[in-house]
């Protein structure tokens, strides 16, 4: 039972003790009466005992109940949906306010969120806390956030909380908010009516109308604000993509670090048909130099991409990540006007080749081992025969596969090349797997001499990846050509335009086919469509780490690739881009919880901005979601920085085209009730007539009066006052 | 009749039969005299004046009779020997049995109210005019009348058994003994809490009394009705006559309490916390049944029954006594 005035109720209910106390006090005060004719009194008492006790019990119970009813009348309990004690049933209103990134859309001088909050404030005017009406506020900015929860009767605090709602940079999480409402609905429905009020401009980014929505339980009224009628003109920075996500630069180099970024802008809204020139500013770091540019859109042109080169100060090199932000001026939606990127910096990349052979021993080309070919491709101008070589920004070293499982053997490796996977034992695979999970690139080639390939099983188990090979190599007669996979985002995107030409002379006479399964990303294919080189995401759900598998051994008996011009750029791109991809690109969308590497205990915001300054990390997941864009530093328990992450606006939730009303209505009907629309000239349907309830429950008061009358009759009867008027029989 | 108190002439002598008057009199002896004076002066004709020389009846002579009482005139007319009996030659043995059980201690009228002159308590400190006070006043008055007539009076004060006994005698000293016994044997707290046992008392009385007597029982009769009947039957069997004065307090007859209170029995009963109004009807019914049974038992055996209220005057019970005595004398029952 819910009480509208619980304090009054309990205070009055405490008065139930008054009749009992009066009775006890009167008992103590009465002086005994000596009586001679006791035998007759006892006889009379024995005859009347039952009746008297019943009368006394009825009197006491009646008086206690009377006090209790008065207490209940003051307390105004809400009994059931019918509002038995309070006249009209109470209402519980769940205000689902869309404060996702689209809610910042500016139209006619007012944002969508301001409009929604206005609706909510007007609706709150129609609620009567004295009658038991309650309101909860859930902000939809993903993940949905409880602003006022559980539902509160205090309308003023709800209003204040609404005023503090700000647009996030994440997409709307209507499903999460409805789940929360769903958990509370049975309780609300047991005490009165429940209403779910959806306050959103219903733009494309607000909800995925193609996905069915789960119905709400029980009887519930669904009220919605109408969809927006217009789309504001808007320019979005859709992408800031470094051509290399890892910047390798020696710390001794005093020159500024040039970084090339591919920046993409997109125009939406009514202004697309006209030409436009949009100022573009790319800032480096917090206070670094900025690059100002101009994005010139032709009439009808919606998307604009340009590779810009920015220079970071030399002092930045070797001091952690580089941060770059591309931004456009304020427009119809400010939330998507900037996009951030974090670039890893390394002095050099450390590449470990797991081979038992010494490099550079062979004097003829036929004697080259796969490791020799790999070393040559990575450091073509290094001295052959040097076991540990430093070649520009790459360091190549070899380790014995049999010792790979030893402690610290592979530590610090950015990339591990495995030309002889058959030589790794289980401990070795486990060691490689740990590095893979922590963000290392692993490239595996089949061993050239093996007749039966059993190593893939050990590899899958050790690395925790879902990839399977055939047991035996397939011989291709005649040899197959190489067919590049067109991709603008793959590891080979930079050399993509040259790939077809470079691949032409390459032929493959033998390969170890990949078996179906998993989700490998093909990088190169054979002319028969089978995969030659594929990127396999790391298993275990971690976003870091990258496995690249080749179906062809780096041996001339399998392919002539090592001797062809493709070999060097192929290996260089796979290693340089792969290391960046494996380390994680350091970019995440707001509202999405990134998978963080082991050891990270919290994210600390860099600079000021909306959202929490710190967010603890538990088991690789954020405990407090980050809904606003910005840069964050990942910290270990010791306080050591473990990298930086940029949270960018969720562009999927920033689509501003208004939803089609009919489709939206059908979609909302999936909640289990036909939605009622808040009209343009109306604050909220049926709210204006809400009248205030009296401060006391009249039905209960009437019941108390009836009981009081009944009690008076019983008391008169039980007190036998009428007996006094009768003359005693003499 | 000795004058112990100077009465104002305007005061009606019958006032002395009212409890409030009696309550003013500290001495029971004085109280009794006043009662009788007041009672006698209220009669049109004193039933005692010259009664001792009045002819009563003739009866046939039997061997052993005193020849002085032969009526020679009757012998001369009829040749039969008859004895002439005179009233002064009849004598009445009055045995007073006063109940001193615990319940007789009850009295609802305050001494102060009864006296009307600021006497707040009896000599022994009681603040109420109890049933025993009323009974002893009545007993003393009856004893006084009886002795004035030359009859013998004896007294038994009892609770669960006879506590005190005064042998029958017609001497004025006996009257003083009786008065003294009644005054010095009030309801003793030691006897409080004990019920009167009439059968036992009757048995004890019968053991002392061999000739036929008029027994006057002064009690509230709060006892088992069967025991009461048994006691009366034994008296009837022994040939005695009996007048039963049931002395009750007005409040016992009306039970007009209004507030709930614990009622504590005077004869050892446990306290009972009740709302008296709730029980009044039933109590009065039970009381009525009991008195009715008592009356029925008395009348059934040919005994007189008179209810006496402590708030009423003593005229009716005394008149009842005198009427009964006269009736007995006329019947020659004791000749």
Rounded to a whole number, what is the distance in angstroms from the first to the last CA of chain A?
Answer: 59
Write down the pLDDT at residue A558. 93
Q: Which among A431, A415, A443, A331 is positioned nearest to A105, based on CA atoms?
A: A331
Write down the pLDDT at residue A552. 94
The parts of chain A modelled with pLDDT lower than 70 are 1-6, 26-29, 75-88, 130, 250-254, 286, 315-320, 381-392, 488, 538-544, 584-586, 597-598, 680-696, 718-730
The answer to whether residue A36 is domain-embedded is no
CB A78 within 8 A of CB A1: yes
- Which has more pLDDT, B68 or B191? B68
Same domain, A7 and A95: no
Cβ contacts (< 8 Å) between B272 and chain A: which residues?
A: 38, 41-42, 45
Write down the pLDDT at residue A654. 86
The answer to whether residue A689 is domain-embedded is no
Which residues of chain B form CATH 3.40.50.410? 13-44+91-331
CB B225 within 8 A of CB B107: no
Taking an 8 Å cut-off on Cβ atoms, the answer to whether A36 and B278 are in contact is no
Give the integer Cα–Cα distance in Å for A486 and B140.
143
Task: For residue B221, report the phi and psi dihedrals to the nearest 5 degrees.
Answer: 60, 30
Residue A393 CB contacts under 8 Å (≥ 6 apart), including other chains: A248, A249, A250, A346, A347, A348, A349
The answer to whether residue A472 is domain-embedded is yes
Cβ contacts (< 8 Å) between B288 and chain A: which residues?
A: 729
Same domain, A198 and A286: no
Tokens of A258: 């040039």
Query: How far is the alpha carbon of B98 from chain A, nearest alpha carbon, in Å?
Result: 16
Check if CATH label 3.40.50.410 holds for domain B13-44+91-331. Answer: yes
What pLDDT band is residue B98 in, cutting at 50, 70 and 90?
Answer: very high
pLDDT per residue as tens digits for the range A356-383: 887 777 778 888 889 888 888 887 766 5
Residue of B271, B272, B273, B308 for testing the chain A interface, max A β-carbons within 10 Å: B272
Same domain, A77 and A144: no
CB B187 within 8 A of CB B247: no
DSSP string, A341-394: EEEEEES-EEEEEE-SSPTT--SSGGG--HHHHHHHHHSTTSPTT-SSEEETTE
Write down the pLDDT at residue A444. 94
Residue of B189, B287, B307, B316 for testing the chain A interface, max A β-carbons within 10 Å: B287
Write down the pLDDT at residue B218. 93
Give the integer Cα–Cα distance in Å for A424 and A450.
14
CB A646 within 8 A of CB A607: no
Helix axes B276-300, A698-719, angle to 10 degrees: 20
Write down the pLDDT at residue A97. 92
Instruction: Give chain A's domain count.
Output: 5
β A303-312/A257-268 pair status: antiparallel
Write down the pLDDT at residue A582. 80
Taking an 8 Å cut-off on Cβ atoms, the answer to whether B280 and A40 are in contact is no
Taking an 8 Å cut-off on Cβ atoms, the answer to whether B278 and A32 are in contact is no
Sequence-ordered strand ranges (E) for A163-220: 192-199
Indicate the residue among A316, A345, A374 that finishes a domain.
Answer: A345
Under DSSP, is residue A553 helix (H, G, I), strand (E, B) or coil? coil
Same domain, A516 and A368: yes
Same domain, A371 and A511: yes
pLDDT at position B246 over 90:
yes
Tokens of B83: 């004895």
Cβ contacts (< 8 Å) between A55 and chain B: which residues?
A: 278
Give the integer Cα–Cα distance in Å for A301 and B179.
141
Query: The tokens 């590497």 sit on which residue?
Result: A597
pLDDT per residue as tens digits for the range B156-188: 998 888 888 898 888 888 888 888 888 776 666
Instruction: Tell me if the bond preceding B221 is cis, omega within 30° of 0.
Output: no
Q: Which among A573, A571, A579, A583 is positioned nearest to A419, based on CA atoms?
A: A571
What pLDDT band is residue B46 in, cutting at 50, 70 and 90?
Answer: very low
Helix axes A17-29, A38-75, angle to 10 degrees: 150
pLDDT per residue as tens digits for the range A172-185: 998 889 999 988 88
Taking an 8 Å cut-off on Cβ atoms, the answer to whether A728 and B267 are in contact is no
Residue of B228, B273, B278 for testing the chain A interface, max A β-carbons within 10 Å: B278
- Domain of A273: which CATH number? 2.60.40.10
Taking an 8 Å cut-off on Cβ atoms, the answer to whether A720 and B265 are in contact is no
Same domain, A384 and A331: no
Q: Which among A314, A348, A315, A324 is positioned nearest to A246, based on CA atoms?
A: A348
pLDDT at position B317 over 50:
yes
Q: Is A71 exposed, middle or buried (0-12, 13-18, 19+ CB in 10 A)?
A: buried
Residue A107 belongs to what domain range?
Answer: 90-230+662-677
Mean pLDDT of B76-92: 74
Q: Is A482 exposed, middle or buried (0-12, 13-18, 19+ CB in 10 A)?
A: buried
What pLDDT band is residue B331 in, cutting at 50, 70 and 90?
Answer: low
Same domain, A73 and A95: no
Cβ contacts (< 8 Å) between B278 and chain A: which residues?
A: 48, 52, 55, 718-720
Taking an 8 Å cut-off on Cβ atoms, the answer to whether B263 and A32 are in contact is yes
CB B136 within 8 A of CB B184: no
CB B108 within 8 A of CB B249: yes
Interface of B with A (CB under 8 A): 102-106, 131, 220, 222, 249, 252-267, 269, 271-275, 277-288, 290
Chain B contact for A45 (CB, 8 A cutoff): yes
Cross-chain CB nearest to A31 (options B253, B261, B269): B261
pLDDT at position B15 over 50:
no
Same domain, A437 and A557: yes
Give the integer Cα–Cα distance in Å for A379 and A349.
12
Angle of CA points B313, B318, B321, to nearest 5°: 150
Same domain, A490 and A554: yes
Taking an 8 Å cut-off on Cβ atoms, the answer to whether B285 and A44 are in contact is yes
Same domain, A220 and A336: no
Query: How far is the alpha carbon of B255 from chain A, nearest alpha carbon, in Å?
Result: 8
CB B273 within 8 A of CB A27: yes
């Amino acid at each position: 039972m819910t009480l509208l005035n619980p304090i009054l109720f309990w205070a009055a209910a405490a008065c139930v003790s008054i009749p009992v106390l009066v009775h006890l006090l009167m008992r103590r005060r009465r002086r005994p009466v000596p009586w001679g004719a006791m035998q007759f009194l006892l006889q009379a008492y024995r005859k009347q005992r039952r009746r008297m006790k019943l009368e006394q019990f009825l009197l006491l119970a009646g008086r206690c109940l009377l006090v209790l009813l008065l207490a209940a009348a003051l307390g105004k309990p809400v009994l059931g949906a019918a509002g038995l004690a309070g006249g009209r049933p109470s209402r519980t209103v769940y205000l689902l306010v869309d404060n996702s990134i689209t809610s910042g859309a500016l139209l006619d001088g007012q944002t969508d969120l301001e409009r929604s909050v206005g609706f909510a404030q007007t609706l709150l005017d129609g609620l009567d806390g004295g009658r038991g009406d309650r309101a909860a506020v859930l902000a939809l900015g993903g993940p949905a956030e409880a602003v006022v929860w559980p539902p509160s009767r205090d309308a003023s605090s709800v209003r204040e909380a609404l005023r503090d709602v700000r647009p996030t940079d994440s997409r709307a999480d209507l499903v999460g908010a409805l789940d929360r409402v769903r958990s509370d609905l049975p309780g609300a429905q047991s005490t009165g009516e429940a209403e779910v009020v959806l306050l959103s401009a219903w733009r494309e980014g607000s909800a995925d109308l193609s996905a069915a929505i789960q119905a709400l339980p029980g009887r519930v009224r669904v009220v919605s604000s109408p969809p927006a009628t217009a789309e504001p003109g808007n320019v979005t920075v859709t992408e800031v993509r470094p051509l290399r996500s890892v910047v390798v630069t020696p710390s001794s180099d005093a020159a500024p670090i040039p970084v090339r970024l591919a920046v993409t802008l997109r125009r939406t809204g009514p202004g697309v048909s006209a030409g436009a020139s949009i100022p573009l500013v790319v800032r480096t770091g917090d206070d670094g130099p900025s690059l100002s540019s101009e994005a010139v859109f032709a009439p009808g042109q919606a998307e604009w991409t340009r590779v810009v080169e920015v220079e970071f100060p030399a002092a930045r090199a070797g001091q952690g990540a580089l941060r770059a932000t591309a931004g456009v001026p304020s427009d119809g939606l400010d939330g998507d006007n900037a996009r951030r990127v974090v670039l890893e910096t390394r002095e050099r990349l450390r590449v470990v080749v797991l081979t038992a052979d010494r490099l550079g021993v062979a004097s003829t080309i036929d004697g080259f081992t796969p490791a020799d070919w790999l070393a040559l491709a990575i450091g073509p101008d290094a001295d052959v025969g040097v076991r540990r070589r430093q070649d520009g920004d790459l360091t190549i070293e070899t380790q014995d596969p049999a010792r790979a499982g030893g402690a610290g053997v592979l530590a610090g490796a950015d990339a591990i090349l495995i030309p002889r996977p058959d030589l790794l034992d289980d401990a070795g695979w486990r060691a490689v797997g740990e590095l893979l999970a922590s963000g290392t690139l692993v490239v595996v080639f089949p061993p050239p001499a093996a007749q039966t390939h059993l190593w893939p099983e050990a590899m899958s188990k050790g690395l925790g990846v879902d990839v399977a090979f055939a047991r035996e190599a397939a011989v291709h007669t005649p040899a197959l050509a190489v067919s590049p996979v067109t991709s603008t985002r793959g590891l080979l995107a930079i050399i993509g335009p040259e790939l077809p030409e470079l691949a032409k002379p390459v032929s493959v006479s033998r390969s170890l086919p990949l078996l179906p399964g998993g989700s490998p990303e093909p990088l190169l294919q054979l002319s028969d469509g089978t995969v030659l080189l594929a990127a396999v995401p790391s298993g275990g759900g971690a976003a870091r780490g990258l496995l690249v598998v080749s179906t062809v051994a780096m041996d001339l008996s399998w392919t002539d690739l090592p001797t062809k011009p493709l070999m060097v750029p192929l290996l260089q791109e796979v290693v340089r881009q792969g290391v960046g991809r494996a380390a994680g690109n350091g970019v995440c969308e707001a509202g999405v919880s990134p998978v963080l590497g082991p050891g990270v205990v919290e994210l600390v915001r860099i600079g000021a901005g909306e959202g929490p300054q710190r967010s603890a990390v538990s088991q690789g997941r954020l405990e407090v979601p980050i809904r606003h864009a910005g840069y964050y530093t990942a910290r270990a328990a010791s306080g050591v920085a473990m990298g930086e992450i940029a949270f960018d606006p969720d562009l999927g939730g920033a689509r501003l085209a208004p939803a089609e009303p009919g489709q939206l209505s059908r979609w909302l009907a999936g909640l289990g009730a036909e939605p009622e629309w808040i009209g343009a000239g109306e604050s909220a349907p049926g709210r204006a007539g809400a009248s205030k309830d009296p401060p006391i429950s009249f039905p209960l008061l009437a019941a108390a009066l009836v009981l009081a009358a009944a009690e008076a009759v019983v008391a008169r009867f039980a007190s036998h006052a009428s007996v006094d008027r009768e003359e005693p029989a003499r | 009749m000795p004058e112990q108190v100077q009465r104002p002439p305007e005061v009606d002598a019958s006032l002395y039969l009212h409890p409030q008057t009696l309550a003013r009199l500290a001495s029971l002896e004085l109280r009794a005299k006043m009662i009788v004076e007041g009672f006698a002066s209220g009669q049109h004709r004193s039933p005692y004046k010259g009664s001792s020389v009045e002819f009563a009846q003739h009866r046939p002579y039997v061997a052993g009779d005193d020849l002085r009482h032969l009526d020679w005139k009757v012998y001369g007319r009829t040749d039969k020997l008859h004895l002439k009996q005179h009233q002064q030659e009849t004598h009445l043995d009055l045995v007073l049995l006063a109940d001193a059980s615990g319940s007789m201690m009850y009295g609802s009228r305050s001494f102060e109210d009864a006296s009307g002159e600021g006497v707040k308590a009896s000599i022994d400190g009681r603040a109420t005019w109890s049933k025993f006070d009323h009974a002893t006043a009545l007993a003393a008055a009856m004893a006084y009348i009886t002795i004035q007539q030359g009859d013998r009076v004896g007294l038994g004060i009892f609770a669960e058994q006879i506590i005190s006994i005064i042998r029958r005698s017609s001497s004025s000293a006996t009257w003083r003994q009786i008065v003294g016994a009644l005054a010095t044997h009030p309801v003793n707290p030691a006897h409080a809490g004990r019920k009167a046992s009439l059968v036992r008392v009757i048995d004890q009385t019968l053991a002392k009394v061999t000739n036929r007597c008029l027994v006057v029982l002064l009690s509230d009769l709060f006892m088992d009705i069967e025991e009461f009947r048994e006691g009366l039957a034994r008296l009837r069997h022994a040939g005695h006559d009996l007048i039963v004065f049931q002395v009750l307090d007005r409040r016992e007859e009306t039970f007009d309490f209004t507030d709930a209170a614990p009622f504590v029995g005077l004869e050892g009963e446990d306290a009972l916390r009740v709302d008296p109004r709730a029980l009044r009807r039933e109590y009065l019914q039970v009381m009525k049944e009991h008195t009715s049974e008592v009356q029925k038992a008395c009348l059934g055996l040919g005994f007189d029954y008179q209810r006496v209220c402590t708030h009423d005057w003593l005229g009716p019970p005394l008149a009842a006594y005198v009427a009964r005595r006269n009736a007995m004398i006329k019947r020659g029952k004791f000749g």
